[in-house]
Chain A
Amino acid sequence: GNSVTQMEGPVTLSEEAFLTINCTYTATGYPSLFWYVQYPGEGLQLLLKATKADDKGSNKGFEATYRKETTSFHLEKGSVQVSDSAVYFCALISPNSNSGYALNFGKGTSLLVTP
């Protein structure tokens, strides 16, 4: 079946540090890949997505490249801010055997950025 594995947190960084959150996946077919962010007390916000191999998703300084050869979709940001503190979820979507779609999420990585 489909699954997503992402690095365990929490990750603590100083402001302006470089961020990498690793994400690898297992899926049948050609999934679409997503990063969502969840701020305290809120729902999920779509951060970026990629729908085919070698696509790069980007938004608000965050980037991730769909690497089919390594089944990975690592999230990166060159210079984090305190406001980036949140929980980040890697997810994929792929049709299941019943011709429906469901997002498969990783466990989430908590990021804390200190001034």
Chain B
Amino acid sequence: KAGVTQTPRYLIKTRGQQVTLSCSPISGHRSVSWYQQTPGQGLQFLFEYFSETQRNKGNFPGRFSGRQFSNSRSEMNVSTLELGDSALYLCASSLGLGGNYGYTFGSGTRLTVV
């Protein structure tokens, strides 16, 4: 079956712009989480959605937002981009909430802010 699909794979944006990233989870998975990966900070949790509701949010500014649609697909948005937002953004899907289900990651969207 198809894995977690993230689009686009690569993105270059200018400071001050906004960007929207998309994630399609594995069919049947209802939980979608987003993570930011940078060389300095490593992997950091952004937020998690389940049944169209944000269930958990990491320690990121309000410029970072997301949503989940009724088909479980999710988008995350970053407004007023800063150079420090350059990172690999990873999406993960799971059947449900909790560690017993495990999380499957997509290949990520590499965002470069210039």
Q: Using CB atoms and an 8 Å cutoff, list the residues of chain A in contact with chain B.
A: 31-32, 34, 36, 41-46, 49, 51, 89, 91-96, 98-108
Give complex CA distance A92, B99 in Å.
8
B64: interface (CB < 8 Å): no
What's the A-B contact tally at a CB cutoff of 8 Å? 70
B18 sits at the interface (CB 8 A) = no
Known contacts A32-B99, A93-B99, A102-B48: A43-B90 contact under CB 8 Å? yes
For chain B, give the interface size range: 20 to 34
In the assembled complex, the Cα of A32 lies from the Cα of B33 at a distance in Å of 17
Q: Which residues of A sit under 8 angstroms from B63, Cβ to Cβ? A: none
Consensus secondary structure, chain B interface: strand
Find out whether the CB atom of B107 lies under 8 angstroms from the CB atom of A98. no
Q: How far is the CB of A86 from chain B (nearest CB, A)?
A: 14
Contacts A44-B92, A100-B55, A103-B33 aside, 11 further interface pairs with beta carbons under 8 A come to A32-B98, A32-B99, A34-B99, A41-B107, A46-B103, A91-B43, A98-B56, A102-B58, A103-B43, A105-B43, A107-B42
Q: Which of A42, A46, A93, A105 contacts B98 (CB 8 A)?
A: A93
When chains A and B are docked, how far (Å) is the Cα of A100 from the Cα of B107? 24
Q: Provide a sorted-by-A list of 28 A–B residue pairs whose CB atoms are within 8 angstroms.
A: A31-B99, A32-B98, A34-B99, A34-B102, A42-B107, A43-B4, A43-B90, A43-B106, A43-B107, A43-B108, A46-B104, A51-B99, A51-B100, A89-B43, A92-B99, A93-B98, A95-B98, A96-B56, A99-B55, A100-B97, A101-B56, A101-B97, A102-B33, A102-B48, A103-B35, A103-B45, A103-B92, A103-B103
- The CA of A1 and the CA of B57, in the complex, are separated in Å by 15
| Most B CB within 10 A of own CB, among A101, A102, A105 | A101
Contacts of A96 in B (CB 8 A): 56
C-alpha spacing A49/B99, complex, angstroms: 9
Please, which residues of chain A bring their CB within 8 A of the CB of B106? 43
Interface string of B41-74 (1 = CB under 8 A from A): 0110100100000011110000000000000000
